[in-house]
Amino acid sequence: MSRESREARIYQRFLVEERERYSDEARAQDEDDMREWIEKAEKRKAIMYEEHDKRRKKRKTEAINESPAATFLPEASSSSLTQPPASLSAPVHVEPAPPGGKRPSSPDSAAQTSHSRYAVNSSARSPRLIKRMPMRMTAPDDDATASDTRALDAVSATATIASSPPSAPDLTPPTAVQLATPPLDKEKGADTEPAVVAPTVASASASNVATSTPPDAPSTSAPSPTKKKKRELPPTFLSPPKASSSKSATVAARPTKSAKGAPKPPTKREIQRAEKTKKEAREAAKKAQEERESRMTHQEYIAYLPQKYATRNRKSVLQGCVFLYIHQENKMRTSVQSRRCYDLMWEHGAEIVAEFDPERVTHIISCKPKLVNQTCQACNVKTIHDIPERIKTFIWTWVTGCISANRILTAASDDNYKSFIDRPPIPESKKFNPRRHEERMRRNEHDSAEESSEDEAVADSKQKTGPIPVAGPSTVVAAPEKDDPLAEFYEQARYEAEDAVSGDEDDAEPDVDAGPSSKAKALKGFQCDIVGAHLSIGSECVNEDIVRKLEELMKIHDARRENESDKFRVIGYRKAIAALRRHPTRIQTAEEAGKLQGVGNKTSEKIMEIISTGGLERLKTERNDGVDVMELFRGIYSVGSTVARQWYTLGLRTLDDVRERKAGIRLSAAQEIGLRYYDDLNQRMPRAEAGEIYGMIKQRALDLDPKLDIEIMGSYRRRKETCGDIDILITRDPCDGKTHAGASRCLLHTTSSYHTCLGLLMKLLRVLHQDGILTEDLSVSHGAGTALEAKYMGIGRRDATSKRRRIDILTIPHEQWGGALLYFTGDDIFNRSIRLKASKMGYSLNQRGLYKGVIRDPRDRTVKLDSGELFASRTEREIFDALGVPWQEPWERVRG
DNA sequence: AGGCAAATACTG
DNA sequence: CAGTAT
DNA sequence: GCCT
């Protein structure tokens, strides 16, 4: 309880404090608060994490037991073969319970009066709960305790207890805690205790803040113990709770006894647990190995490979190859990335050497393009051409390419495989014309000659169409010798890539109006390359009826979304629908539909059916009660498919069921807000209203600091008639030494290494709350206090009479402006498309900017082996140009 | 058959 | 971590 | 779902 009130108090002070001069005193205050706040957040997270873990494990085991019988309304009798199931059936009985009895069933009444400044804190853990809670024990976890209390009020106490309390650490028998987990005890103490003493940061933070952001004094001693403890915690500490969920923690210590201790014979749960433990052990071992490996040098690791794979069969794809891998790590230790690469090569039969031996080496594999220096260095040669012709140089993707093709790829035989670099047989003299990007990059680095570069870029991109004059007149090329040689190869790869990628831009334009034109052409291109696509997207379309049906089907899949592939199915539908919408004429036949890119067999069949019968059988069979309800629930902000399904399974069917907390469900803070303003938030607002709100916010932000750059993103920027939410992007040119992070009118820093004042976002939020523009917060990033990058998500309104709207405000580093603008402007399909193009060209595009030289783990594409370097991001145009995408205004970027 | 965009952050 | 969101 |  102390934590809660303290937290609320702190935050309250942030937001409520009137707008006044930012005196030194106030600043100091803010600073303290801020730090405190961050600390708290960290701590809470840590606790939550532990909690959650326990809960999760329990849930899992239960689920296993239950799942076979799990239907919507659990029949208590049938599933009662073991004790635990009771917990599931419990909620049903409990349902009539009084917990929130007087919860206002009408959504409005709630917080209208004092649009609570800090909804997240106050509303969710609503006063009533706190009040009800007879300050029983000093609970580190309010939630658990609260629910607990509530549960006790409820009828069948036993059942409910089984379902939640075990997770609350306080409720586990004290003995257990003491016996099994002394460290826990200590940690807990450390966690809660100092908080009470807090504000004198420095001292308090010593141990428990270790994880928090402020660059803790680089004390060597302090962090390590804490860290260590943390690491050890899971094994020793995490497992007991599992036991505690059934019996007592002590049991865990002696597994044999545990079987006996629990009257039930080796249940599935037991087995589960055992498996879990085993798994944990395995993971621990794996981690240890990783740890060991990470300490090896490249040489050592290579030498270690045979041993590592001693027991496994190697594939033969790369048999006979001897690789020298060029990495880019200056430190001696190997990175995971490199090790993975080594692993992969070895696994597939390649020999790997750590040092260049012209006699042995057959291929040089560079982890990314353009590592000329490293290559030369590694081979101990002056220029790349001193490497014997027969030794091929490839970039990493070639390896993965070979593996997936199951053969050795060569330049000649696989010209459809574009992303490798073979050393071209061209002599030194015939250098490629260095690409404009490179040039621009360099120039940007040195002098930021914006205008000229942009002009040039535009011109350049115009002239660039078609197959590029490969033997470009050896112009400038005054490029520093450094990365010169391999730059060529890189360039060549780029040329190839572009050839493959950027069809002919000339035809791309008319393509749209050209009606059902060649699909072949479209196939090659990217949506983002098509200028004027937006024109053909009318609100009304001749195929509206078809679109409607398909949309419905899509929604069903979206609601159901059980596995990953459903996600893509939905994307597929969306694409098809977009294509259909774009199509100017009435579709008559399946063939006609099939010609559109994005519309395949399945969809054409469906379209046919719609055309001929006017309906769609599939719709009838697929649509059912569940889908509707899930859709309904998912309309609540912060309720996703999982929760929606859960509720449905528990027997809930309407929003009122949710409001009444039927079946004992609990809402998160955000969900509660989402529920309260269900109608408001599910409505789009007229563009004008978004504009007004934006104006108000912008005004107040500029009041705080006139040098801010502020822009509204999303559908507003695309000039859509209605907007679903308001996205505001803020940054600030740091040229005068100040940033939006370190607050406007404060000195950036004096002696300490971090900013000495509250971030702009935090201040802005305060003001906005004060003026009633923001009414609730959904989440406020820690960064709001100090970081350059921060995100706010909340709810606000134009004035007291209008509906609530979703409002996001984010601040970003100045140099990422372009990337962020592009990213947050969309639309969705445009984004996907341009990112796809980027990646096909060997780049990677994200909200921060355009990166080049990104290498991913072929086995897990989400793992980046090399994050590459920032290539362009200052302006949107810069990125467009780099990707060869014709410039389009925001409102022209509409594809779906 | 395998890719399809991608990364990050907050909450509980 | 899992779920949700952007 | 679609596409290669």
3-state secondary structure A668-731: CHHHHHHHHCHHHHCCCEEHHHHHHHHHHHHHHHHHHCCCEEEEECHHHHCCCCEECEEEEEEE
Please state, in angstroms and rounded to a whole number, the distance separating the CA atoms of residues A746 and A737. Answer: 11
pLDDT at A678 over 70: yes
pLDDT at A115 over 50: no
- Residues A492-518 have a mean pLDDT of 33
Find which nucleotide's C1' atom is closest to A636's CA.
Answer: C4
- Residues A651-665 have a mean pLDDT of 96
* Range from A143-157, A292-306, A795-809 that averages highest in pLDDT: A795-809
Every domain of chain A and the residues it spans: 292-420, 525-680, 684-741+757-883
Confidence (pLDDT) at A442: 32
The structure tokens 């049991």 sit at A251
Please state, in angstroms and rounded to a whole number, the distance separating the CA atoms of residues A407 and A419. Answer: 16
> How much of chain A exceeds pLDDT 90, in percent?
22
pLDDT at A415 over 60: no
- CB burial of A500-536 (b: ≥16 within 10 Å; e: otherwise) equals bbbbebeebeebbeeeeeeeeebeebbbbbbbebbeb
Element housing A761 (H / E): helix A760-770
Cα distance from N-terminal residue to C-terminal residue, chain A: 49
| Residue whose CA lies closest to nucleotide B6 C1' | A846
CB-strand contact A840/B, under 7 Å: no
Confidence (pLDDT) at A874: 87
Please state, in angstroms and rounded to a whole number, the distance separating the CA atoms of residues A810 and A792. Answer: 6
Tens digits of per-residue pLDDT, A342-373? 777 777 788 888 878 778 888 887 765 555 65
Please state, in angstroms and rounded to a whole number, the distance separating the CA atoms of residues A661 and A669. Answer: 14
> How much of chain A exceeds pLDDT 70, in percent?
45
* Range from A426-430, A518-522, A803-807 that averages highest in pLDDT: A803-807
CB-strand contact A573/D, under 7 Å: yes
CB-strand contact A432/D, under 7 Å: no
Please state, in angstroms and rounded to a whole number, the distance separating the CA atoms of residues A665 and A498. Answer: 54
pLDDT at A89 over 50: no
Please state, in angstroms and rounded to a whole number, the distance separating the CA atoms of residues A202 and A194. Answer: 11
**Closest to A739 in 3D by CA, of A685, A683, A788, A780:** A788
Confidence (pLDDT) at A860: 59
pTM over 0.85: no
Confidence (pLDDT) at A241: 32
Identify which has the larger pLDDT, A93 or A696.
Answer: A696
Q: What is the spatial distance, in angstroms and rounded to an integer, between the CA atom of A402 and the C1' atom of B1? A: 16
| Active-site annotation holds for A229 | no
Confidence (pLDDT) at A19: 36
Identify which has the larger pLDDT, A656 or A157.
Answer: A656
Q: What is the spatial distance, in angstroms and rounded to an integer, between the CA atom of A415 and the C1' atom of B3? A: 20
Confidence (pLDDT) at A138: 29
Find which nucleotide's C1' atom is closest to A561's CA.
Answer: D1
pLDDT at A694 over 80: yes
Question: Which residues in 518-557 of chain A line strand B, with CB less than 7 A from it?
Answer: none
Please state, in angstroms and rounded to a whole number, the distance separating the CA atoms of residues A403 and A315. Answer: 10
pLDDT at A842 over 50: yes
Please state, in angstroms and rounded to a whole number, the distance separating the CA atoms of residues A635 and A602. Answer: 29
Q: CA neighbours within 13 Å on the CB side: how many for A75?
A: 4
Confidence (pLDDT) at A50: 58
Q: For residue A360, what are its two tokens?
A: 């042995």
Confidence (pLDDT) at A122: 31
**Closest to A815 in 3D by CA, of A760, A889, A875, A761:** A875
Confidence (pLDDT) at A358: 79
Q: What is the spatial distance, in angstroms and rounded to an integer, between the CA atom of A596 and the C1' atom of D2? A: 11
CB-strand contact A894/B, under 7 Å: no
Find which nucleotide's C1' atom is closest to A779's CA.
Answer: B10
* Amino acid sitting at position A542: V
Beta bridge partners of A774: A796
Confidence (pLDDT) at A35: 59
- Residues A59-80 have a mean pLDDT of 35
Give residue A806's pLDDT band: very low, low, confident or very high (50, 70, 90): very high
Tens digits of per-residue pLDDT, A709-740? 999 999 999 999 999 999 999 998 888 877 78
Q: What is the spatial distance, in angstroms and rounded to an integer, between the CA atom of A103 and the C1' atom of B9? A: 32
* Amino acid sitting at position A376: C
Separation of CA A734 from chain center: 27
CB-strand contact A864/B, under 7 Å: yes
Indicate the range of A141-155, A695-709, A752-766 predicted with least confidence.
Answer: A141-155
CB-strand contact A659/D, under 7 Å: no
Please state, in angstroms and rounded to a whole number, the distance separating the CA atoms of residues A288 and A306. Answer: 19
- Residues A818-837 have a mean pLDDT of 91
Find which nucleotide's C1' atom is closest to A599's CA.
Answer: D2
Beta bridge partners of A776: A795
Give residue A664's pLDDT band: very low, low, confident or very high (50, 70, 90): very high
pLDDT at A484 over 50: no
Percent helix / strand / coil, chain A, rounded to 5: 55, 10, 40
Q: What is the spatial distance, in angstroms and rounded to an integer, between the CA atom of A550 and the C1' atom of D3? A: 20
Q: What is the spatial distance, in angstroms and rounded to an integer, between the CA atom of A365 and the C1' atom of D1? A: 37
Strand B nucleotides where any atom sits below 7 Å of a protein CB? 3-7, 9-12
- As a dihedral over the C-alpha atoms of residue A683, residue A688, residue A694, residue A698, rounded to 10 degrees, the angle is -170
- Residues A209-237 have a mean pLDDT of 32
Tens digits of per-residue pLDDT, A558-585? 887 777 788 899 999 999 998 898 888 8
Identify which has the larger pLDDT, A179 or A590.
Answer: A590
Separation of CA A432 from chain center: 39
Under DSSP, the state recorded for A656 is H
Please state, in angstroms and rounded to a whole number, the distance separating the CA atoms of residues A519 and A597. Answer: 6
How many residues can be counted in chain A?
A: 896
CB-strand contact A518/D, under 7 Å: no
- DSSP annotation string for A546-590: HHHHHHHHHHHHHHH--SHHHHHHHHHHHHHHHHHHH--S---SH
Q: What is the spatial distance, in angstroms and rounded to an integer, between the CA atom of A634 and the C1' atom of C4? A: 11
CB-strand contact A578/D, under 7 Å: no
- Residues A441-466 have a mean pLDDT of 30
Q: For residue A787, what are its two tokens?
A: 């970081």
- Residues A617-640 have a mean pLDDT of 90
CB-strand contact A839/B, under 7 Å: yes
* Range from A13-27, A218-232, A582-596 that averages highest in pLDDT: A582-596
pLDDT at A493 over 80: no
Q: For residue A891, what are its two tokens?
A: 């409102």
**Closest to A172 in 3D by CA, of A73, A246, A263:** A246
Q: What is the spatial distance, in angstroms and rounded to an integer, between the CA atom of A141 and the C1' atom of C1? A: 18
Round the CA-based radius of gyration of chain A to a whole number and report it: 31
Confidence (pLDDT) at A510: 31
Q: What is the spatial distance, in angstroms and rounded to an integer, between the CA atom of A706 and the C1' atom of B12? A: 38
Indicate the range of A348-357, A379-388, A442-451 predicted with least confidence.
Answer: A442-451
Fold of the domain built from segment(s) A525-680: DNA polymerase; domain 1 (1.10.150)
Domains A292-420 and A684-741+757-883 share a fold: no
pLDDT at A155 over 90: no
Give residue A40's pLDDT band: very low, low, confident or very high (50, 70, 90): low
CB-strand contact A649/B, under 7 Å: no
CB-strand contact A828/B, under 7 Å: yes
Helix (H, G, I), strand (E, B) or coil at A370: coil
Confidence (pLDDT) at A418: 28
Q: Which CATH class name applies to A684-741+757-883?
A: alpha beta
| Residue whose CA lies closest to nucleotide C1 C1' | A53
Q: Which of A431, A606, A662, A763 is catalytic?
A: A606
Q: CA neighbours within 13 Å on the CB side: how many for A596?
A: 28
Q: Give me the sheet containing A363-366, strands edge to edge.
A: A351-353, A322-326, A363-366, A392-395
Q: What is the spatial distance, in angstroms and rounded to an integer, between the CA atom of A849 and the C1' atom of C4? A: 25
Please state, in angstroms and rounded to a whole number, the distance separating the CA atoms of residues A441 and A870. Answer: 10
| Residue whose CA lies closest to nucleotide D3 C1' | A598
* Amino acid sitting at position A104: P
Taking all residues of chain A, what is their mean pLDDT, rounded to a whole number? 62
Q: What is the spatial distance, in angstroms and rounded to an integer, between the CA atom of A828 and the C1' atom of B8? A: 18
At the second CATH level, the architecture of A292-420 is 3-Layer(aba) Sandwich (3.40)
Tens digits of per-residue pLDDT, A241-289? 333 333 333 333 333 333 333 333 444 344 445 544 554 555 556 556 6
Give residue A665's pLDDT band: very low, low, confident or very high (50, 70, 90): very high
- Residues A778-804 have a mean pLDDT of 89
| Residue whose CA lies closest to nucleotide B9 C1' | A781
Please state, in angstroms and rounded to a whole number, the distance separating the CA atoms of residues A742 and A783. Answer: 11
Confidence (pLDDT) at A360: 82
Find which nucleotide's C1' atom is closest to A725's CA.
Answer: C6
Confidence (pLDDT) at A788: 83
Please state, in angstroms and rounded to a whole number, the distance separating the CA atoms of residues A117 and A17. Answer: 11
Strand C nucleotides where any atom sits below 7 Å of a protein CB? 1-6
Helix (H, G, I), strand (E, B) or coil at A810: strand
| Residue whose CA lies closest to nucleotide C4 C1' | A638
- Residues A784-813 have a mean pLDDT of 91
Q: For residue A128, what are its two tokens?
A: 């009533």
- Residues A373-384 have a mean pLDDT of 66
Confidence (pLDDT) at A638: 96
* Amino acid sitting at position A635: G
Phi, psi torsion values for A865, nearest 5 degrees: -80, -25
Q: Give me the sheet containing A869-872, strands edge to edge.
A: A843-846, A849-852, A869-872
Phi, psi torsion values for A206, nearest 5 degrees: -30, -60
| Residue whose CA lies closest to nucleotide B12 C1' | A48
Confidence (pLDDT) at A394: 72
Strand D nucleotides where any atom sits below 7 Å of a protein CB? 1-4
